[in-house]
Structure formats: structure tokens, C-alpha cells
Amino acid sequence: MKQKTTAILSAAVLALGVTGTAQAGTLEDVQSRGVLRCVVSTGVAGFAQPDANGVWGGFDVDFCRATAAAVLGDGGKIEAVTSTG
């Protein structure tokens, strides 16, 4: 029983270590790219929609801008990528 518990705890610790590394890599990728890519779904009023000038607006876009401001120091450094489904 003790070996089984030790094996489970060891696997959990290893899994947490791998997860932390993946997240750090993603943050570093965004910072080195200098722009935050946000997937937006069009067709849902109030969430994501470009205006007549092509500037995206809505809740999802505002959340993306807030995240870009926190990570990159500039809320305007976003790239809206439309989802396909």
C-alpha cells in the first residue's frame, strides 16, 4: 500500500512540474512575439465584432486587451483571430 501511495504522489509531483514548464514557455512566447493572439467568435453581439474601421470591440476583446496590458504593458498589442467553429 505504501509503494502505491508513493508512486501516485511521485506521478502527481512530476505532472505539476511539467505543467509549470509549459505555462512558462507560453508566457515567454507571447512576450517574445510582442503581441497577444486572441481567438474571437463573431456573430455574438457584445462579445467580439469589428467596427466600420476594422477595430475589434466587445467583452472578449476587452478581456484580451486587459490581459495584453498586464503581460505586455500595452492593451493595444493584440491580434484578433476569428474561430472557425
pLDDT tens digits, one per residue of 7-53: 555 555 555 555 555 566 888 899 999 999 999 887 777 888 888 99
- Between 24 and 60, name the one with better pLDDT: 60
Tell me which DSSP letter residue 45 carries: T
Q: How far apart are CA 50 and CA 61, in angstroms?
A: 10
d(CA 20, CA 13): 11
Torsion angles phi and psi, residue 55, rounded to 5: -90, 125
Query: Looking at the whole model, is its pTM more than 0.85?
Result: no
